[in-house]
């Protein structure tokens, strides 16, 4: 598409009477639609919010803040205009001038607020001071920081067992706060550190750890820039990792081949305009971003991957170079078993299980065999399934066949979610910590950490329900509705003796609370954090293991806000009066936290100096250097059986996902631009044949009933059916609303992740009336 053509300028947003609309989207990803959306968003947020240019300025090397929008890395060339529509919205959302202060809470009871939508809650603005729930008036009342810390500290001190507390982390938390947070939990005596990763990339971590001995991707952005082929599984990049569009556009322009595997053909699998270009319209040019799109059925990815591998083996009969035999012999284990299982699986079976025709899979295999360097990237479409771990291991299997590891332009590249979710794991948020790590922590910090595993997200909910966990601390996030089985999770939180939420904005998790409840408001990442030792910076790690500093520059939303490290230290001191940890000393200057971290974590040597290098530093990854910390000392193939994939007659498989205009549980509007939807979130995308079978037309109301493994059912009523290009038997709709359907017991036996992309449902017309 050429610059400024009519079609590019037509964003499809001209008229809006508030009614639900659906028109398939034909425009490039990013581009004018993004520009218009940002302008409108900033206008709506009101006077005084920095415009895109001002926001861009703040997000640059040496002194800017890290974009909290997603975990995609910054440009390697030091070009820092690489921020996108959703990043800007995300930042502006935090910078709002609206305030939720004591007067606000005096005006509204919790019962009244409970009737508000997620959007209405967050849209009230930033929280300004600590608040404590008062059951007598059903209101949050102001509480001083020392009193709040004492309430939390006393309740924690008085538990019969430290394992009656759980400490949740949402993936925004900077590395320094992360380190202090896990230290607080472990000093107290528990490894109950559930995190959002338990719902996100747990499967990736476990699979990569088992296969390669490094629980992360091994590639960086420079690899993305040199790969010959990119295979992108199960991610809606245009909405959720918009800066990946830049990599896709550049790859396409230099002649790399791009294969997308997704039941939906998402916007990033068509064509795009480089996201940051939208602020300088002059360079607008849409570029295709896909060579081949495969549309498996939901959960069909492992069969697609095995099909590609089978085709590679077939090719190797005539062309020995199809396999990198030297690499396989020198670095891997389990090859023969894997080959045997690929050969034994018939094409008919692969087609049936993947929902993709053999010739399409062979096309992908052709691209793979022609490429000298391949990257396989993936996100939640792969992980939130029963077979998430097996599928990620199958990705590694495929890469190993052609030695696509430990060299430029090749390797596994999971797209992480929250901006620092990877850093959280690196810095100790792990309910299954290794003994090595605990030993180091004990030695360096002089504590005696508990050795038994703690609880993850699902286990924590069950334990709260059963009264075994009595204190829940949420360090960011919106646990109440991000977690599965909404009704059950609400019930679980309400059974707690105390719930503590450290947050920037009002959300559902403040309204669904324990007998006592605290809202502790903190500085956002854009804000200046001044401590006794001056302005403080925190570090974060992106999806590609780059660690760099983030410095907030904006005046805090309220003088009463504390930084996350300071809040953690405050709770810690109150809970552990005799703690040997110099909590107060740490908070004066975060360099001191980093000095301790440098002693605890491999790869963090000389942390304070290296993190101040212009682009930060990359954490060393053994697998990247072909050092495998696995039992065999080699990269391990796996030969797991393919998922069954058959469904009960009359049922569909439902995936829950994000719309374009939302950030997890934060809903900016009811639009999903790239999927052509306006003013509607209570929808379900269905295949036209499945709709016809049920006598449904576009926008007809349906009831959706999920059938859990234990046979229990959960329902949503009066959703609207939207005919969509999705394989038969599959349906999709939005999180977090659809968490109502996700039974607490329906988590993967491989990763313990809720199977949020693989619910079995019946969809029927809603009764008339």
Residues of the shown chain interacting with ligand MGD in the complex, contacts defined by CB under 6 A: 70, 86, 122, 170, 172, 196, 199-200, 233-236, 239-241, 261-264, 266, 298-299, 301, 379-382, 384, 417-418, 475-479, 482, 502-505, 507, 522, 524-525, 564, 655-658, 662-666, 735-736, 738-739, 742, 756-757
Helices (H) and strands (E) in the chain, counts: 31, 32
Phi, psi of 107, rounded to the nearest 5 degrees: -80, -25
Element (H, E) at 288: strand 287-288
Q: Which does 261 bind (CB under 5 to 8 A by kind): ligand MGD, Mo ion, none?
A: ligand MGD
Q: How far is the CB of 475 from ligand MGD (least distance, A)?
A: 6
Residues 750, 386: contact at Cβ < 8 Å? yes
CA-CA-CA-CA dihedral for 156, 160, 162, 165, to nearest 10: -60
The one of ligand MGD, Mo ion, none whose footprint includes residue 570, by CB under 5 to 8 A per kind, is none
Report whether the peptide linkage leading into residue 701 is cis, meaning its omega lies within 30 degrees of zero.
Answer: no
The nearer residue to ligand MGD, 291 or 332, going by C-beta atoms, is 291
Distance between CA atoms of residues 603 and 37, nearest Å: 41
DSSP state of 3: T
Query: Residue 393 CA to chain centroid, in angstroms?
Result: 20
565 binds, among ligand MGD, Mo ion, none (CB under 5 to 8 A by kind): none
Query: Tokens 């003796």 identify what position?
Result: 497
Q: Which is nearer to ligand MGD, 75 or 564 (CB)?
A: 564
Q: Which does 123 bind (CB under 5 to 8 A by kind): Mo ion, ligand MGD, none?
A: none
Look up residue 232 and give its two tokens.
Answer: 């992108």
Alpha carbon distance, N-terminus to C-terminus of the chain: 48
Cα–Cα distance for residue pair 334/289, rounded to 1 Å = 35
Tell me the closest approach of the beta carbon of residue 416 to Mo ion, in angstroms. 7
757 binds, among ligand MGD, Mo ion, none (CB under 5 to 8 A by kind): ligand MGD
Q: Which of ligand MGD, Mo ion, none is residue 704 near (CB under 5 to 8 Å by kind)? A: none
Q: 385 near 204, Cβ under 8 Å?
A: no
Beta bridge mates, 293: 260
Q: Which is nearer to ligand MGD, 85 or 220 (CB)?
A: 85
Residue 426 or 739: the one with the smaller Cβ distance to ligand MGD is 739
Q: Which does 395 bind (CB under 5 to 8 A by kind): ligand MGD, Mo ion, none?
A: none
DSSP state, residue 533:
T
- Using the minimum distance from each CB to ligand MGD, give the nearer residue, 30 or 322: 30
Q: Compute the least distance from the CB of residue 292 to Mo ion, in Å.
A: 27
Among Mo ion, ligand MGD, none, the one that 365 touches (CB under a kind-dependent 5 to 8 A) is none
Residue 159 binding target from Mo ion, ligand MGD, none, CB below 5 to 8 Å by type:
none
**What are the start-end ranges of the E strands in 234-274?**
257-261, 271-272
In the complex, minimum distance from the CB of residue 649 to ligand MGD, in angstroms, rounded to a whole number: 21
Q: How far is the CB of 12 from Mo ion (least distance, A)?
A: 28
Rounded least distance, CB 585 to Mo ion, Å: 34
E runs forming strands in 360-406:
374-378
| Phi, psi values for residue 445, rounded to 5° | -100, -5
707 binds, among ligand MGD, Mo ion, none (CB under 5 to 8 A by kind): none
The three-state (H, E, C) secondary structure of 736-756, written as one string = CHHHHHCCCCCECCCCCCECC
Q: In terms of CB distance, is 403 or 754 closer to ligand MGD? A: 754
Q: By CB under 5 A, name the binding residues for Mo ion.
A: 200, 417
* Contacts for 611 with CB less than 8 Å, ≥ 6 apart: 539, 547, 548, 549, 594, 617
Selection from Mo ion, ligand MGD, none that 400 binds (CB < 5 to 8 A by kind) is none
| Least distance from ligand MGD to the Cβ atom of residue 118, Å | 8
Least separation in angstroms between CB 37 and ligand MGD: 11
Q: How far is the CB of 747 from Mo ion (least distance, A)?
A: 15
Q: Which is nearer to ligand MGD, 369 or 655 (by Cβ)?
A: 655
Angle between helices 85-95 and 32-45 (to 10 degrees): 0
CB of 109 to ligand MGD, least distance (A): 20
Burial track 215-240 (b if 16+ CB lie within 10 A, e otherwise)? bbbbbbbebbbbbbbbbbbbbbbbbb
CB 550, min distance to ligand MGD, A:
11
Residue 684: which H helix or E strand, with range? strand 683-686
Check if the beta carbon of residue 684 is closer than 8 Å to that of residue 761.
no
Q: Answer with the entry of Mo ion, ligand MGD, none that 86 interacts with (C-beta below 5 to 8 A by kind).
A: ligand MGD
Evaluate whether 733 touches 656 at the Cβ level (below 8 Å). Answer: yes
- HSE-CB for 603 with a 13 A CA cutoff: 16
Nearer to Mo ion (CB atom), residue 131 or residue 199: 199
Nearer to Mo ion, 380 or 547 (CB): 380
Q: Which is nearer to ligand MGD, 32 or 734 (CB)?
A: 734
Nearer to ligand MGD, 457 or 581 (CB): 457
If contact means CB under 5 to 8 A according to the sort of partner, which of Mo ion, ligand MGD, none does residue 399 touch? none
Residue 439 Cβ, how far from ligand MGD at the closest point, in Å?
30
**Binds 507, which of Mo ion, ligand MGD, none (CB < 5 to 8 A, cut-off by type)?**
ligand MGD
Nearest approach in angstroms of CB 594 to ligand MGD is 19
Nearer of residues 460 and 504 to ligand MGD, judged by Cβ: 504
Q: What is the DSSP string of 140-202?
A: EEE--HHHHHHHHHHHHHT-SSGGGEEEEE-TT--HHHHHHHHHHHHHHT-----BGGGGTTH
Instruction: Please name every residue paired with 292 in a beta bridge, in sequence order, or none if there are none.
Output: 259
Min. distance of Cβ 521 from ligand MGD in angstroms?
9
Q: 392-413: b or e for each residue (b if 16 or more CB lie within 10 Å)?
A: bbbbbbbbbbbbbbbbebbbbb
Q: How far apart are CA 488 and CA 404, in angstroms?
A: 44
> Nearer to ligand MGD by C-beta: 235 or 361?
235
If the CB atoms of residues 384 and 563 are measured against Mo ion, the closer one turns out to be 384
> CB 657 → ligand MGD: shortest distance, Å?
3
Output Rg (C-alpha) for the chain, integer angstroms. Answer: 25
- With a CB cutoff of 8 Å and minimum separation 6, the contacts of 252 are 258, 287, 288, 289, 291
CA geometry: angle 521, 525, 528, nearest 5 deg: 85
Taking the least distance from each CB to ligand MGD, the nearer of 403 and 417 is 417
169 binds, among Mo ion, ligand MGD, none (CB under 5 to 8 A by kind): none
Least Å distance, CB 151 to ligand MGD, is 18
Residue with smaller CB distance to Mo ion, 543 or 720: 543
Residues in the chain: 769
User: What does 263 interact with, of ligand MGD, Mo ion, none (CB < 5 to 8 A by kind)?
Assistant: ligand MGD
User: By three-state DSSP, how is residue 663 classified?
Assistant: strand
């Amino acid at each position: 598409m050429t610059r400024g053509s009519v079609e590019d300028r037509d964003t499809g947003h001209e008229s809006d009477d508030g009614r639900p609309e659906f028109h398939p989207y034909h425009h490039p990803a990013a581009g004018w639609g993004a520009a218009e959306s940002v302008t409108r968003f900033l206008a709506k947020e009101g006077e005084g919010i920095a415009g895109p240019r001002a926001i861009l300025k703040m997000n640059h090397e040496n002194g800017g803040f890290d974009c909290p929008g997603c975990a995609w890395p910054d440009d390697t060339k030091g070009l820092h205009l690489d921020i996108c529509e959703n990043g800007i919205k995300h930042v502006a959302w935090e910078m709002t001038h609206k305030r939720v202060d004591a007067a606000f809470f005096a005006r509204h009871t919790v019962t009244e607020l409970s009737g508000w939508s997620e959007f209405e809650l967050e849209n009230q603005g930033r929280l300004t001071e600590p608040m404590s729930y008062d059951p007598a008036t059903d209101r949050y009342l102001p509480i001083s920081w020392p009193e709040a810390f004492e309430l939390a500290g006393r309740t924690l001190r008085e538990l019969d067992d430290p394992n009656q507390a759980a400490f949740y982390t949402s993936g925004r938390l900077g590395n320094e706060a992360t380190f202090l947070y896990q230290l607080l939990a472990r000093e107290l005596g528990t490894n109950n550190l559930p995190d959002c990763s338990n719902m996100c990339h747990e499967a990736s971590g476990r699979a990569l750890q088992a296969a390669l001995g490094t629980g992360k991707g091994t590639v960086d952005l420079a690899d993305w820039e040199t790969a010959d082929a990119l295979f992108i599984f199960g991610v809606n990049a245009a909405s959720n990792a918009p800066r990946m569009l830049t990599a896709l556009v550049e790859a396409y322009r230099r002649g790399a081949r791009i294969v997308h595997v997704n039941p939906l053909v998402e916007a990033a699998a068509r064509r795009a305009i480089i996201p940051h270009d939208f602020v300088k319209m002059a360079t607008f040019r849409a570029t295709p971003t896909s060579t081949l799109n495969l549309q498996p059925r939901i959960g069909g990815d492992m069969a697609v991957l095995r099909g590609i591998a089978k085709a590679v083996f077939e090719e190797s009969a005539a062309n020995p170079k199809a396999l990198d035999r030297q690499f396989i012999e020198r670095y891997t284990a389990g090859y023969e078993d894997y080959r045997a299982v690929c050969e034994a699986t018939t094409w008919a079976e692969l087609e049936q299980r993947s929902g993709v025709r053999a010739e399409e899979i062979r096309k992908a295999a052709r691209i793979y065999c022609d490429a000298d360097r391949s990257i396989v990237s993936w996100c939640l479409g792969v992980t939130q399934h029963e077979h998430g771990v097996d599928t990620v291991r199958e990705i590694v299997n495929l890469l190993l066949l052609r030695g696509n590891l430990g060299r430029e332009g090749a390797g596994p590249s999971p797209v992480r979610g929250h901006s620092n979710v990877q850093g959280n794991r690196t810095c100790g948020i792990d309910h299954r910590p290794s003994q090595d790590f605990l030993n180091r922590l004990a030695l360096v910090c002089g504590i005696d950490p508990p050795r038994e595993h703690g609880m993850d997200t699902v286990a924590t909910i069950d334990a709260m329900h059963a009264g075994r966990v009595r204190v829940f601390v949420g360090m960011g996030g919106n646990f109440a509705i991000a977690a599965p089985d909404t009704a059950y999770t609400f019930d679980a939180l309400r059974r707690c003796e105390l719930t503590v939420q450290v947050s920037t904005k009002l959300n559902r998790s403040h309204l669904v609370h324990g007998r006592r409840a605290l809202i502790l408001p903190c500085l956002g990442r854009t804000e200046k954090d001044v401590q006794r030792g001056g302005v403080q910076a925190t570090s974060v790690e992106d999806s590609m293991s780059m660690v760099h500093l983030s410095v907030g520059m904006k005046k805090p939303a309220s003088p009463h806000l504390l930084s996350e490290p300071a809040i953690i230290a405050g709770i810690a001191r109150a809970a552990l009066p005799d703690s040997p940890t110099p909590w107060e000393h740490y908070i004066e200057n975060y360099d001191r936290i980093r000095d301790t971290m440098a002693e605890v974590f491999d790869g963090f040597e000389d942390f304070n100096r290296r993190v101040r290098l212009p682009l930060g530093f990359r954490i060393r990854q053994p697998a990247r250097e072909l050092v495998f910390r696995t039992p065999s000392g080699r990269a391990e193939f796996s030969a797991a059986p393919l998922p069954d994939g058959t469904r009960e007659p009359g049922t569909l498989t439902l995936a829950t996902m994000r719309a374009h205009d939302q950030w997890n549980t934060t809903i900016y509007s009811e639009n999903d631009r790239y999927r052509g939807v306006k003013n509607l979130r209570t929808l379900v995308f269905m295949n036209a044949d499945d709709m016809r079978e049920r006598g449904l037309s576009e926008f007809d109301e349906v009831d959706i009933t999920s059938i859990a493994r234990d046979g229990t059912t959960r329902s949503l009523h009066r959703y609207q059916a939207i005919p969509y290009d999705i394989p038969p038997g599959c349906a999709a709709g939005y999180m977090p609303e659809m968490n109502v359907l996700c039974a607490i017991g329906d988590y993967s036996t491989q990763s313990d992740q809720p199977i949020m992309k693989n619910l079995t449902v019946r969809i029927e017309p809603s009764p008339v009336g």
